[in-house]
Amino acid sequence: MQTGNSLKEKAEKAIEKSAMYGEDFDLNEFEVAAKEVPQTEDLEDLDDEFKQTLLNVGVLTDDKERSGSFLMLDNAVSHSSLKDPNIELMSLHEALEKHDWLKDYSWNLVAVDADKYTAKSYLENANGYFIRAPAGQKSSMPVQTCLMMGHKDVTQTVHNILIVEEDAKLDVITGCTTKKGVERAMHLGISEIYVKKGGVLNFTMIHNWAGDVGVRPRTVIHLEEGASFVNNYILLKPVRSIQSYPTAILDGEGAFARFHTIAVAHPGSELDLGSRVLFNAPNTKAELISRTITTGGKVIARGEMVANKPHCKGHLECHGLVLKDGGTQLAIPVLEANVADVELTHEAAVGRIAREQVEYLMARGLSEEDAVGMIVRGFLDVGITGLPEELAKDIDDTIAQIGKDAI
Amino acid sequence: MLEIKDLTVEIGGRKILNKVNLKVEQGSTTVLFGPNGAGKSALLMTLMGFSGYDIVSGQILFKGEDITHLSVNERAERGLGIMTQRPPNLTGVKLKDLVKVISNDHSFDTDAASKKLDMERFMDRDVNVGFSGGEIKRSELLQLSAQNPCLYLLDEPESGVDLVSIEEIGTTIDELLSSRSKCSVDHYKRGNSALIITHTGQVLDYVEPDVGYILCNGVVMCRGNPREMLKEIKAHGYQECIKCKQAIL
């Protein structure tokens, strides 16, 4: 294990290190966000505007349908509550104090010196959530977490650790957002996710930022034998720049990972969204499915699969719609096979909505706007379930607006 | 109901229809015969207003209104409904959601209709994706019954369909044409009107036709009794018809 001192040295050396992809933000232009924030006993006590902000990223204030809730505001925990006694949910700092063994999981999958964003998060001693489903536990309802930036011109640094132990099952919904009125800020989020033998994790992340926000998540998922991880990522609203390239390491025989990415690039947005899978054990499987739309912004849809052991099977699918001139769709699929007996495939298509489809629906009496909306909705429907009704409505409204704007 | 006057149409600069004149009377079923490549499908697509079919000259009147330059959905609103031969796949759009949207403004029993057309297990499927020939036709008929148009434009309803399905499709078409729509008028023979393209004439085992037209090389060759025309075509092909037209000209 690396000592704190050696990590610190590494981080300090990397504090100016640019990331491989995405706009190179100068973190000195942002204040470090507050490490003390008002405490919220009950999410229902928040004002309506705040509640709506949470709802728009899938976080319910009425926690009837949730096993636990966690709210991080700027750089500190504002709320943490748990209904299901069989799982653990608390701040990472608290968890590191409680569990001595946890330090081995911290900065284990993500390198502190990967780039300036990981370095900054380490040096700020970033806090975040710790969720653990102990062996054999199956939580009936999802755990929800929200990471919110409450002030403008700040950097939020987050460090999360999620552990699903042997044969446990957990659903997590994470909403990342800015408080209304916060137009410019920087979100850095480190997530280290462990799914042990036979464990199942369904992880849904909804992003809803503002026009001048930079977002740099750094996520690695480690899967053991027979473990399963499904990642849903949804971003439909404007943002300045997101660069994210989560990596799943399939380290045990029969492990499975699926990434669904649904994103819309509005004018002024640059979305550099990828997902990577390393097949490091035999008989592992993965699917990377991305559906992106540009209405004037830039989308870079990356996907990478590296097969290092036999009998692996992976499929990569990047479909991009260009609804308006001025938008860019760039699909970059990478397949790498380092052993003979593997099957990696990819399918990429970028372009406009087929006129034939629109007219087919118009011939049934739909207006052009409704026809485009229906096609866009279908395009984005990759079968993500379990989203709250209110969020589904917000998504519907956004898609309807996209349909309108496209004509 | 429908009157086509001197309609000339081009696709990508190539003339496909040449001064076509054709009428579909209210409540009548008109059949359009013709060899492959005659322009039959192009005529139906033009009537519905699909892009790519450029009207060079002529006029389309529907219920007395000039619809030559209306958009596709404006024509649908006025009561035109089409079944094309190869409808596009709509990935992610569930058939049940589409039927619901189509039938939005009037009461329509989706469950009964889907059961009748044996489409229940397709309601949660993406429209046309992986559908067989017969399934596509039944899906189109389900959508048309939800739409309830006054004039049915049917492009070879029997093509790519097995014999059992032909009966189901044929009887459904007959029922749809006999049912009432917003343009039904009591004293007419049927509630609705139709312009049907058929190659084999199989659909005429279920639907009684009133008038027939033969289209060759984008030109209307003749108008007459559809059953006799079919007999003639079956016996001698389209050559007789072309010769006959040349003799008249």
- Closest residue of chain B to A319, computed from CA coordinates: B91
Interchain CB distance below 8 Å, B71 and A380: no
Closest CA to A189 of A207, A165, A211: A207
Length of chain A: 407
- Note whether A341 contacts B: Cβ–Cβ < 8 A: no
Chain A positions in Cβ-Cβ contact with residue B147 (cut-off 8 Å)? 364-365
Interchain CB distance below 8 Å, B98 and A355: no
pLDDT number for residue B235:
85
Which among B72, B84, B92 has CB closest to A362? B72
pLDDT tens, residue by residue, A222-275: 999 999 999 999 999 999 999 999 999 999 999 999 999 999 999 999 999 999
3-state secondary structure of A226: coil
Q: What angle do CA A348, A353, A357 make, to 5 degrees?
A: 115
Going by C-beta distance under 8 Å and a sequence separation of 6 or more, which residues neighbour residue A344?
A: A305, A307, A312, A313, A314, A315, A316, A335, A336, A337
Calculate how close chain A gets to B48, using CA atoms only, in Å. Answer: 7
- Closest residue of chain A to B85, computed from CA coordinates: A360
The amino acid present at A378, given as its one-letter code, is G
Interchain CB distance below 8 Å, B147 and A356: no
Calculate how close chain A gets to B225, using CA atoms only, in Å. Answer: 30
Residue A293: HSE in the Cβ half-sphere, 13 Å Cα cutoff: 28
* pLDDT tier at B249, thresholds 50, 70, 90: very low
B2-92+151-248: what CATH class? alpha beta
Interchain CB distance below 8 Å, B76 and A355: no
Q: Residue B48 belongs to what H/E stretch?
A: helix B40-48
- Note whether B92 contacts A: Cβ–Cβ < 8 A: yes
- Note whether B124 contacts A: Cβ–Cβ < 8 A: no
Question: Which is more confident, A41 or A397?
Answer: A41
Chain B positions in Cβ-Cβ contact with residue A365 (cut-off 8 Å)? 73, 76-77, 102, 147
Which among A363, A365, A375 has CB closest to B93? A375
Could you tell me the CA-to-CA distances from A250 to A225, A277, A280, A400, B105 in Å, in that order? 8, 7, 6, 38, 51
Chain A positions in Cβ-Cβ contact with residue B76 (cut-off 8 Å)? 362-365
Rounded mean pLDDT, B179-183: 71
Asked if residue B247 has pLDDT above 70, the reply is: no
How many C-beta atoms surround the C-beta of residue B206 within 10 A?
18
Chain centroid offset of residue A308 CA? 26
Asked if residue A148 has pLDDT above 50, the reply is: yes
Asked if residue A366 has pLDDT above 90, the reply is: yes
Chain centroid offset of residue A279 CA? 21
How many C-beta atoms surround the C-beta of residue B124 within 10 A?
10
Both tokens assigned to A13: 């050396």
pLDDT number for residue B188:
63
Going by C-beta distance under 8 Å and a sequence separation of 6 or more, which residues neighbour residue B179?
A: B148, B191, B192
pLDDT number for residue A5:
82
Both tokens assigned to A189: 């989020």
Could you tell me the CA-to-CA distances from A90 to A68, A145, A158, A310 in Å, in that order? 10, 10, 14, 40
DSSP A144: E
Query: What mean pLDDT is reported for chain A?
Result: 94
* pLDDT tier at B105, thresholds 50, 70, 90: low
Backbone angles phi, psi at A406, to 5 degrees: -75, -15
DSSP B166: H
Secondary structure string (H, E, C) spanning B141-189: HHHHHHHCCCEEEEECCCCCCCHHHHHHHHHHHHHHHHCCCCCCCCCCC
Could you tell me the CA-to-CA distances from B81 to A245, B142, B193, B237 in Å, in that order? 48, 12, 10, 30
Rounded mean pLDDT, B41-63: 95
3-state secondary structure of B76: helix
Q: What is d(CA A317, CA A291) in angstroms, rounded to the nearest whole number?
A: 8
Task: Give the A:B interface size as CB pairs under 8 Å.
Answer: 69
Backbone angles phi, psi at B96, to 5 degrees: -65, -35
Asked if residue A403 has pLDDT above 90, the reply is: no
Chain A positions in Cβ-Cβ contact with residue B94 (cut-off 8 Å)? 378
* pLDDT tier at A2, thresholds 50, 70, 90: low
- Closest residue of chain B to A368, computed from CA coordinates: B73
pLDDT tens, residue by residue, A182-194: 999 999 999 999 9
Rounded mean pLDDT, A123-149: 96
Rounded mean pLDDT, A215-224: 98
Backbone angles phi, psi at B49, to 5 degrees: 95, 20
- Where do the H-state alpha helices sit in chain B? 40-48, 72-78, 95-102, 110-116, 133-147, 163-178, 226-236, 239-248
Length of chain B: 249
- Closest residue of chain B to A380, computed from CA coordinates: B92
Chain B positions in Cβ-Cβ contact with residue A355 (cut-off 8 Å)? 51
* pLDDT tier at A404, thresholds 50, 70, 90: confident
Asked if residue B246 has pLDDT above 60, the reply is: no
Interchain CB distance below 8 Å, A378 and B126: yes
Interchain CB distance below 8 Å, A365 and B50: no
- Closest residue of chain A to B44, computed from CA coordinates: A363
Residue-wise burial string across B38-61, b where 16 or more C-beta atoms lie within 10 A, e elsewhere:
bbbbbbbbbbbbbeebebeebebe
Interchain CB distance below 8 Å, B81 and A359: no
- Closest residue of chain A to B125, computed from CA coordinates: A378
B-interface mutation test, from A347, A353, A359, A368, most B Cβ less than 10 A away? A359
Q: What is d(CA A311, CA A327) in angstroms, rounded to the nearest whole number?
A: 39
- CB B106, CB B145: distance < 8 Å: no
- CB A295, CB A406: distance < 8 Å: yes
Chain B positions in Cβ-Cβ contact with residue A363 (cut-off 8 Å)? 48, 50, 72-73, 75-76, 80-82
- Note whether A335 contacts B: Cβ–Cβ < 8 A: no
- Note whether A370 contacts B: Cβ–Cβ < 8 A: yes
Both tokens assigned to B94: 């569930």
Q: Which range is least confidently modeled, A283-292, A294-303, B74-83, B234-243?
A: B234-243
The bridge status of strand B54-62 relative to strand B2-11 is antiparallel
Asked if residue A107 has pLDDT above 60, the reply is: yes
Q: What is d(CA A368, CA B73) in angstroms, rounded to the nearest whole number?
A: 8
Which among B77, B82, B90 has CB closest to A378? B90
Interchain CB distance below 8 Å, A359 and B51: yes
Chain A positions in Cβ-Cβ contact with residue B182 (cut-off 8 Å)? none
Partners of A169 in the β-ladder: A138, A200
* pLDDT tier at A406, thresholds 50, 70, 90: confident
- CB B45, CB B99: distance < 8 Å: no
Full DSSP string of A363-379: TTT--HHHHHHHHHHHH
Asked if residue A368 has pLDDT above 90, the reply is: yes
- Closest residue of chain B to A356, computed from CA coordinates: B88
pLDDT number for residue A270:
97
Q: Residue B44 belongs to what H/E stretch?
A: helix B40-48
Chain B positions in Cβ-Cβ contact with residue A395 (cut-off 8 Å)? none
A-interface mutation test, from B41, B47, B51, B73, most A Cβ less than 10 A away? B73
* pLDDT tier at B200, thresholds 50, 70, 90: confident
Interchain CB distance below 8 Å, A362 and B98: no
